[in-house]
Amino acid sequence: MTFEIGFQNPYPESTVKTLLEDSLLIPRKVRHYLRTTKHIWINGHNINWQTVVKPGDLIKLYFEDSVYPEKKILWGDSHKIDCLYEDEHLIVVNKPEGIKTHGNEPNEIALLNHVCAYTKQTCYVVHRLDMETSGAILFAKNPFILPILNRLLENKTIYREYWAVTERPFDSKTVVYKDKIGRHRHDRRKRIVDQKYGQNAITEVRLLKKGSHVSLINCRLKTGRTHQIRVHLAYHRHAIIGDPLYATEKASRLMLHAHRLSFIHPLSLEKIRVNAISDSFEKILATYF
């Protein structure tokens, strides 16, 4: 049995080698497999590595099961999925607060399991949202596109924007936090600012509304560290309201919502931009503004 990927070339004229390596960012191991097995076809013809591929050419790639072994995952409830965008390669859904992106145990049901039930196939996590955070989240629908999307994430060309309601008003309309983030020594659940041993982390903040004792801000991630927005804001005395780990002001949920996800689709060059709405976030927000 083989696994097949097909798409029309959206990139400028180039060799097969350049297309797979530079445009599609396909990992070296997969490129080597395609080259040695000659499992790449252009417009119905088996070609070599230096064949020129033109815009609009139909490209088909074939993989044996040994390249992408089937991954078994329990299906959840398809009715729990709010789909924001979907095609044959990827899906973006609106995650509610209070559910994990993926389970930590084989039999644990999380959002990933519901996505698999909705698509009726095994899907793969591209990036994560904390259990307490709601909003737009991206999944790959096949193992071929997963590393390509991961490369886009590493190259900072998948843009993620969040709304947050924070303690204390902001004085500045914009600010960029670059504090390094590391693990908490005594609490495995937490992260801390650790300028010496932490990982680089960049969060861009823009003030949207200022209340008497709170602020509504837009945060744009330039990196994707665990609890990054939560830790940066708490460190600068603007903890997110309702944060069970870092804030003092309580709420029925963490007031952090991933409201927008945007990127260029790597197999079509289509501009994908989705917005997510959370009723619970909006309801609490209305009590402050």
Strand partners, 19: none
Assign 3-class secondary structure to 126-180: CCCCCCCCEEEEEEECCCCHHHHHHHHHHCCCCEEEEEEEEECCCCCCEEEECCC
Please state, in angstroms and rounded to a whole number, the distance separating the CA atoms of residues 34 and 31: 5
Question: How many Cα atoms sit within 13 Å of 144 on the Cβ side?
Answer: 21
CA distances from 271 to 65, 85, 151 (A): 32, 12, 17
Residue (of 133, 129, 88) closest to 112 by Cα position: 129
Catalytic, out of 22, 77, 82, 130 = 130
Return all residues near 66 (Cβ < 8 A) that are at least 6 apart. Answer: none
The one-character DSSP state at 261 is E
Q: Pick the closest to residue 197 from 211, 207, 187, 183 (CA basis).
A: 183
Chain centroid to Cα 185, Å, comes to 28
179 labelled catalytic: no
> Dihedral of the CA atoms 138, 144, 147, 151 (nearest 10)?
-80
Q: How far apart are CA 134 and CA 97, in angstroms?
A: 5
Tally the C-alpha atoms within 13 A of residue 186's C-alpha that lie toward its C-beta.
Answer: 0
CA distance 178 to 40: 44
Active site residues: 130
